[in-house]
Chains A and B, each alone.
Chain A
Amino acid sequence: MGAFFRLQWSGILVGIIAGGIALALSAPAFLSEFNLFVLLRSICVSLLVAYAQMVMLGVGQMNLSVGALGGLVAVVTGGLMDALGVPTLPAIMIGVAAGGAAGFVNGWLTVRTGINGFIVTLATASAFAGINLGITKAVPFYNLPADFVAFGNGRVGLFPLLLIVPLLVTVVLALFFARAVPGRHMLAVGGNAPAAQLSGVSVPRAIISAHVLSGLLAAVAGVLAVAQLGSAQPTIGSDWLLISFAAPIIGGASLAGGAISIVGTLLAVVLIGLIQNAMVLVKVDPYWVQFLLGALILAAVWFNRYRAIKVGEI
């Protein structure tokens, strides 16, 4: 039990299990196949959004443009399919590449101008949102290829087809940060940038790579959101900011950088999805979700701190 308590994400797992049991007892509809499918599908996009921010927290920076970037990729991909008739796969690839390019712009501006990354991404978020609105004039793209929309809504039993993407990404990211040199470099820079620089790590390159990776992840999230909704809405991404920070932070990432937890982030997204699902099942005002999410972040950071003090990390 002591060893379990030492794990950063132990509290979240307990929360998920307790919440799941409570929900199953109070709302029988919770365990229905369709509801579990809805729950799993709702976490697909959130998970990628959370990873997009987690990568930035790992390198000790923030990306406030995650939502705007994802929204831009969503309408670019949707626009390519609808307005230009580009086939599904090339459209997705161009969209995701655009997301990587947008991430590169964020990273390049942060490194080259020396302006704080917080301000840079605040400004580029406005810019990306402007391009999004300029392209769409706030009108969604509806005519998307049937196979693409079918993928967004398809399921095998209770598992949505969409889930394949975030699971794949989870494995790749876990390997990347555990084994790959660029991943280790990012965490080294996040942990202590001057020390990393002195050890021969290129700090600018690590930061730009993190921004590109963050852009790619947000882009994939944007594409998944389009598939899930069945249309490229210009409003995609406008409500991602809170969850992008909430999940990694609840999952135990440090804002100071260098410390991230993929399992923690994953569990946090599941917990948030569970809360949203519960609100629907027990028919509570949807505004409560926002309220509870705020309370959850505070509780989680407080718990993590308490845990860290108990096990002597601080």
Chain B
Amino acid sequence: MTSALDAEPRPSSASAMDPAPRRTLTSLLLRGSTQAGLFVILVVLWVVFANLAPGFLSKFNLNSLLRSVAVDIVVGFAQMVVLATGGMNLSVGAIGVCAVMFSGYLMQVLGLPIPVAIAGTLALGALLGWLNGFAIVKTGVNSFVVTLASASLFSGGMLILTKAVPLNGLPAEFGAFGKSAVGPAIGSMPAIPSLAVVALAIGLGLYVLFKHSTLGRQILAVGANARAAEMSGIPVDRTIVFVHALSGALAAAAALMLTARLAAAMPAVAGDDWLLPSFLAPVIGGTALSGGIVSVVGTILGALLVSTIRSGLLVLEIGNFWLPLFLGAFLLAAILVERGRAAYVAREQARRA
């Protein structure tokens, strides 16, 4: 992705990481961060959908929206951590399906206790991700090519081993967790699904990693300028292997959440379907494809935006078939609006300076 048109203005990573000095509400709308802009777009969409279709704010719809967005958020995180180094991981979905089937195998066929199965699945995800990182670092080949190939290897291997047969006899507690919720339901607001809590907890962990740890800073430094990072004594290769292992573990976590939500391990649930969401959530949220800039909050908001659009269009009963068209168009529009706002801010700042 060394495209010449990658015209993304590249602020220094320091300013991109702490974007929130004190501001008034009105100036926040225009001059705030990408995340604030996204938040406004989200609120507007919620108001529009709630007015057009009362069913949008029903307890049932909000509950299902939150449970599905929880998975999308973690899928987005799995891509985000690799984007941070300027690479990409096209095998997020493939690792996801491998993890789905492996968790089913551990719980149903081997009858392992749930915590052991969860640990085993996360370890498998991390291992597959580690293999990606190892191949990228050792061969020096672009991460796009390596993960494109490994996605094919992983999902092909999974299909050869499982014959694409779903596993439906998972422990009841596992499926129950996918449906459970935390806290009381207030009025039409549903209680918060446990899955959403898990996604937020993972987000918190990543926030701490990128904001408050040396390792996180090193990852961003590698993404911003790998040569400079190398010169400053950062182990670039080890950092890249680490983010790929982390990405694999996050993909496995998303797979576990999805398996809990569906209460079954099915081979067709992730794979290619995760490709688009995995990029959209972080990219809409302000994570740069070129690396060095991430936003955990932005990824959460980006995933929320995608799910809101999908859910809203479904509730409006705009034909299920046309959904991908609107999704694609809305997303381009959202990115454009955000770009326009950022450009306006840049012009304003240039005018004042």
Contacts and interface: CB of A to CB of B under 8 A. Distances in A.
Interface of A: 60-62, 109-111, 113-120, 122-131, 133-134, 136-138, 189, 193-194, 203, 207, 241-242, 245-246, 249, 255-257, 285, 287-298, 301-302, 305
B317 interface: no
Contacts of B4: 60, 189, 193-194, 203
B12 to A, nearest CB: 20
30 contacts: A61-B3, A61-B5, A114-B339, A115-B335, A118-B3, A118-B289, A123-B331, A126-B328, A128-B325, A129-B324, A130-B322, A130-B326, A130-B327, A133-B321, A133-B324, A138-B321, A246-B148, A255-B145, A256-B2, A257-B3, A285-B163, A290-B156, A291-B152, A293-B149, A294-B150, A294-B151, A294-B154, A297-B145, A298-B135, A301-B145
Given A115-B336, A189-B4, A242 B325 contact: no
Interface stretch (B41-49, B109-117, B136-144, B187-195): B136-144
Contacts, number: 165
B1 interface: yes
B332 A123 contact: yes
B331 to A, nearest CB: 5
A295 B4 CA distance: 30
A167 B5 CA distance: 33
Given A133-B321, A291-B160, A305-B140, A116 B155 contact: no
Interface SS of chain B: helix
A128 to B, nearest CB: 8
Given A133-B321, A285-B160, A305-B139, A113 B336 contact: yes
Given A115-B335, A287-B159, A288-B160, A127 B328 contact: yes
A294 B322 contact: no
Nearest to A289: B156
Given A203-B5, A242-B152, A297-B145, 6 more contacts: A123-B328, A123-B329, A134-B322, A290-B155, A291-B160, A294-B151
B8 interface: yes
B153 A295 contact: yes
B245 interface: no
A126 B2 contact: no
B5 A122 contact: no
Given A115-B339, A131-B325, A301 B139 contact: yes
A288 B158 CA distance: 10
Contacts of B327: 126-127, 130
Contact of B339 (A113, A118, A246): A113
A123 B17 CA distance: 27
Contacts of A128: 325, 328
Interface of B: 1-8, 135, 139-142, 144-146, 148-157, 159-160, 163-164, 272, 275-276, 279-280, 283, 289, 319, 321-329, 331-332, 335-336, 339
Contacts of A126: 276, 324-325, 327-328, 331
Contacts of A138: 321
Contacts of A242: 148, 151-152
A29 to B, nearest CB: 24
Given A130-B324, A287-B156, A207 B5 contact: yes
A116 B145 CA distance: 18
A53 to B, nearest CB: 11
Contacts of A294: 149-154, 156
Nearest to A60: B3
Contacts of A114: 5, 7-8, 339
B192 to A, nearest CB: 29
A113 B327 CA distance: 18
A122 B317 CA distance: 25
Nearest to B155: A290
Given A287-B160, A290-B159, A297-B148, A127 B1 contact: no
A296 B156 CA distance: 13
A206 to B, nearest CB: 10
A228 to B, nearest CB: 23
Contacts of A120: 332
A20 B156 CA distance: 24
B120 to A, nearest CB: 23
A248 to B, nearest CB: 11
A194 to B, nearest CB: 7
Given A245-B145, A287-B160, A290-B155, A116 B1 contact: yes
Nearest to A119: B283
A175 to B, nearest CB: 26
B160 A116 contact: no
Contact of A288 (B5, B135, B156): B156
Contacts of A287: 156, 159-160, 164
A105 B62 CA distance: 35
Contact of A298 (B3, B146, B164, B329): B146
Contacts of A136: 321
Contacts of A122: 275-276, 279-280
A249 B328 CA distance: 28
Contacts of A127: 324-325, 327-329, 332
Contacts of B336: 113, 115
Interface centre among A193, A289, A290, by most B CB within 10 Å?
A290
B3 A295 contact: no
A291 B289 contact: no
A120 B141 CA distance: 24
A289 B329 CA distance: 34
B328 A245 contact: no
A298 B149 CA distance: 6
- Which 4 residue pairs of A and B lie closest in terms of their CB atoms, listed nearest first? A130-B325, A291-B156, A193-B4, A294-B152
B111 to A, nearest CB: 27
A62 to B, nearest CB: 8
A207 B4 CA distance: 10
Nearest to A204: B5
Contacts of B323: 130
